[in-house]
Every structure is written in structure tokens, then in C-alpha cells.
Amino acid sequence: MLKPLLSLTGGLITTMALGIAQAAPLSQEDVSVAEVLRDRALESSDAYSIVESLTVEVGPRRTGTEGDERAVAWAQDKMKAFGFDRVYTEQIEVPRWIRGHAHAEVISPFPQPLVVSSLGYGAATPEGGLTAEIIEFPDVQALLKAPASQVKGKIAFINKRMERARTGDGYGPAAQGRKLGMRAAAEKGAVAMLLRSVGTDSDRFAHTGMMSVDNVENPVPALALSAPDANLLEAMLQRGKPVQVKLDVETERLSDGPSFNVIGEITGREKPEEVMIIGAHLDSWDEGTGALDDGAGVAIVMETARLIAELPQRPRRTLRVVLFGAEEIGLVGAKQYVEAHVKELDNIIAVSESDFGAGKVWRFDTRLPESKFDIADQMMQLLAPLGIERGNNESYGGPDSSVFVARGVPAFGLYQDGTDYFDYHHTPNDTLDKVDPENLRQNVAAWVVMSFLTTEMEGDLGRVPTASE
């Protein structure tokens, strides 16, 4: 008796028998296909081979470098081989920078070397290096409050520890020092900035990363210290004598140059102009092979689209894989993408990005209008057996997705377990051995459910009001 009623009213009817307010928005048929896709992904998806190929055949791919160029070619070749309907690039303009060498050593009172890495787009020391006394701050806020007279001529050392959490919530507060520390140090007349690495490991690797460098009048060298070296410096300072450190850093800023967003599509059979974007970023930092950040994400979204491309028919809407360029230096590829496509934003029905390593997905967050929560509830029925719980509706969909979310585009967030992500993030130790093929299959299983149902469903996800509205 239920079925005919549903078909007469387009599915929106009180089902008296069950006492539920509304019939489910996703059809049983679509849900069944998603379930088959999910189980296929769990059994036989192979995102691991993709990240293996990227890390072995391309390796480091910092934006604007030759490795970046090779990554762009690699991504197009792979997408074509996977049978995507359209594969193309869109050029972006990126600032470029050469990382030369970076050495640091304590000169007195206890001479010994320190393990450091230049922070992104940082300045060089004068040739032959510089030597100065260390002044320590518990965090960047303390440096910002310090009188310039106290900082002038010294090396400002920001010694803030990052807390480990499954959500990665310790990252934001710790990364403040990296973003703002060099600017603050330079403005107060420091000769350089040293930063306890933004990371959760105790390995002797420094974590690089981007700083705010625009319009800093006299930029100074800025280096991340490995956690054990930050401990060492801290212990020397506790002995109460001035600590002199020598830095020798070579870097070079180049003029802006081209990079690319790489895009591959599974074209929709009914509404090709309506698009779901699933993204990851193709660029990486340059010291590791970018297996976790973001090779795993690249592999997860490419494998998701490949599985959907294998279906006997295309989904109703277009599934667009966007591998963003220049994410690491400030979401440059995503910002330029949104600018270039601003007139089509209403046709982007949802966005999501995988950019949090290779851990299992444990939480499903969304950013949907309240009227569409029942769609997420239905997706949850397929995600829960993967060990995924329902999260909140405050997802920004991943770093690059946040640029779309700011314009009201609905977003999904398949939140990965990030407990150990910041042990490796932006270090030489971000390598393939940290990626578990089994975990990637679980990721793809979740992504394929979300991506298929969003591109295939009858209705849409509406728009989400933004802060400015």
C-alpha cells in the first residue's frame, strides 16, 4: 500500500504505518547501487597503487617546481587511463621559491648542531651566516606583546608544543606561530625566528610549512626546529646563561610562474552542468614524498571516480575530480578556481576534499541546509557499518573546499583519524610506508557512497547561508 502512495506524491508523504514524518529522499534503488559500490570498494579498490605511483614516479612536488610540473603530467595520464570522460588542466599563477640549505648550531655555551628546516618562502641569512642570542617565547602571542627593545638583534624562539588529538585540533593553535611568528619577529627587529616544529612526534625531523610573508618589510630567516632540538635549546636556556646560535640559510624568491589545477570528469547523463566536486591537492612540501599530504587524498578521490566510471551508466550529474595546485602555500589553486568559475558556483551542488592523511574515516560531517539533513541520515545508514559516526553540520569540507563553502556551496566532510598525522606532516618522513592499503579501501568505500548518491539523487542539496548573508 505504501508504494503507490509514494509514487503519486513524489515521495513526500506521511507513512502512517511507520509513523515517520517523511519518506526517504534517496530512492531505494540508488541506495542499493551505493551499497554495491561500497562493498566493491572495501573488497577490491586500489587507491594504494595510485599513491604508490605518485610517490615513486613523481615524489616531492612543491608548487612551481619541476616536480610539480611532472605531477601535473602524471595526474592527467592517470585520469585518462582510468577512463574519465574529460581530462584537462586550468592554469594558475603561483609565487615561486628556492629552498637552498639551512644549518643551525649552538655556538655557546654548549656547542652542538641543531636539526632545522626553512619555513616556506623564508629569507636567507647574509652570506657566511649570522650569530645571535636566543630569546624564548612560550607562543607567538607572547612575542607579539614583547617590547621591541627586548627582541631587537636577537633570534626569537617560539616554543609552543602541539597537542595530539584524533581530530587534529591541536594544529590550529600551534600553527599560529608558524603563520605569524616571522612577521612579528621582523617587525620587532629580531634577526631571525626559530619555531618549535608544528608536529606531535619526537623524531629528529623539522616540520616545514607556510608563513605569512606578504608585505613584511624586512623579512628575516625563519626555521622550524625538530622537537628534540627544541627540547635541547629549552634545556640550555633553563641553565640561565645566554645561548648563542649560528644560522646559515640560503633561499631565493623567484618571480611568479605557472602551475595547474588538474581536472577529470565523469560526465553526468542527465544534468551534466550540475557538478559535485571531489578534491585533493596535488602539490606537496618538498622534503618528503607527500604520501600522506596529500598523495593519499589524491588516490582516494581518483579511485572513487574510477569506481563510479565503471558503472554501466553515468550518474545523473557530473562528478568532477579537482586536484588543486598550490594548496600548501595558501589555497592558491582553489582561490583561483573559484574566481574563474564564480558564475557556475550555483551549479556546484556539493564539494568535499580528502586532505588529512591516510587514516580511517571515523566521522561524517556536513554543511547542509537543515531541510536536507535526512539525505545525510540516509547516507549514514551505509556509512555506519564502516565504523563511521554522524558528526556535526559545521564541516568546511577540507582546506580547498573551504573557499567554496565561503560562497554557500554545501559540503561533506569524511573526517579521518588524524592521531598520528602530525607526526609526519611536512617532514622528510612523510613517505609511503605510513600508508595502509586497508585503510585506503575503507576511505574509498565511504567516498564512493557519498559521491555516487550526491551525483545520482533526484533532488539537490540547496544552498547553505554564509556568514555574510
Kindly list the catalytic residues: 327
Stretch that binds Zn ion, among 163-171, 245-253, 285-293, 375-383 (CB under 5 A): 285-293
SS3 string, the chain, reads CHHHHHHHCCCCCCECCCCECCCCCCCHHHHHHHHHHHHHHHHHCCHHHHHHHHHHHCCCCCCCCHHHHHHHHHHHHHHHHCCCCEEEEEEEEEEEEEEEEEEEEEEECCCEEECEEECECCCCCCCCCEEEEEEEECCHHHHHHCCHHHHCCCEEEECCCCCCCCCCCCHHHHHHHHHHHHHHHHHCCCCEEEEECCCCCCCCCCCCCECCCCCCCCCCCEEEECHHHHHHHHHHHHCCCCCEEEEEEEEEEEEEEEEEEEEEEECCCCEEEEEEEEEEECCCCCCCCCHHHHHHHHHHHHHHHHHHHCCCCCCCEEEEEEEECCCCCCCHHHHHHHHHCHHHHHHEEEEEECCCCCCCEEEEEEECCHHHHHHHHHHHHHHHHHCCEECCCCCCCCCCHHHHHCCCCCEEEEEECCCCHHHHCCCCCCCHHHCCHHHHHHHHHHHHHHHHHHHHCCCCCCCCCCCCC
Stretch that binds Zn ion, among 185-193, 352-360, 369-377, 386-394 (CB under 5 A): 352-360
Q: CB 160 → Zn ion: shortest distance, Å?
A: 21
CB of 399 to Zn ion, least distance (A): 6
Site string for Zn ion, 391-430 (x = CB under 5 A): ----------------------------------------
As a whole number of angstroms, the distance between CA 80 and CA 155 comes to 51
Instruction: Closer to Zn ion by CB, 274 or 293: give it.
Output: 293
Q: Name the minimum Å distance from CB 426 to Zn ion.
A: 9
In the complex, the smallest distance separating the C-beta of residue 248 from Zn ion, rounded to whole angstroms, is 29
Task: Using the minimum distance from each CB to Zn ion, give the nearer residue, 416 or 455.
Answer: 416
Q: Please identify, among the stretches 3-11, 247-255, 310-318, 347-355, the one whose residues bind Zn ion according to the rule CB under 5 A.
A: 347-355
Nearer to Zn ion, 287 or 293 (CB): 293
Q: Please, what is the minimum distance in Å from the beta carbon of residue 353 to Zn ion?
A: 9
Which residue number, 318 or 416, has a Cβ lying nearer to Zn ion?
Answer: 416
Pairing of strands 244-266, 271-281: unpaired
Query: Which lies closer to Zn ion via its Cβ, residue 287 or residue 294?
Result: 294
Question: Total number of residues binding Zn ion (CB under 5 A)?
Answer: 3
Residue 355 CB, shortest distance to Zn ion, in Å, is 4
- Where does this chain touch Zn ion (CB under 5 A) — which range of 82-90, 267-275, 351-359, 439-447? 351-359
Q: Which stretch binds Zn ion (CB under 5 A): 8-16, 62-70, 212-220, 294-302?
A: 294-302
Radius of gyration of the chain (CA): 24
Q: Quick one: 157 or 404, whose CB is closer to Zn ion? A: 404
**Of the listed pieces 107-115, 197-205, 258-266, 289-297, which binds Zn ion according to CB under 5 A?**
289-297
293 forms part of the interface with Zn ion (CB under 5 A): yes
Is the torsion defined by CA of 258, 48, 169, 413 positive or negative?
A: positive
Query: Residue 293 CB, nearest distance to Zn ion (Å)?
Result: 4
Q: Which is nearer to Zn ion, 136 or 294 (CB)?
A: 294
Q: 84 vs 421, which CB is nearer to Zn ion?
A: 421
Q: How far is the CB of 357 from Zn ion (least distance, A)?
A: 9
- Check: CB of residue 223 under 8 Å from CB of residue 104: yes
Q: Rounded to an integer, what distance in angstroms lies between the CA atom of residue 201 and that of residue 425? A: 10
**Could you list the residues that contact Zn ion (CB under 5 A)?**
293-294, 355
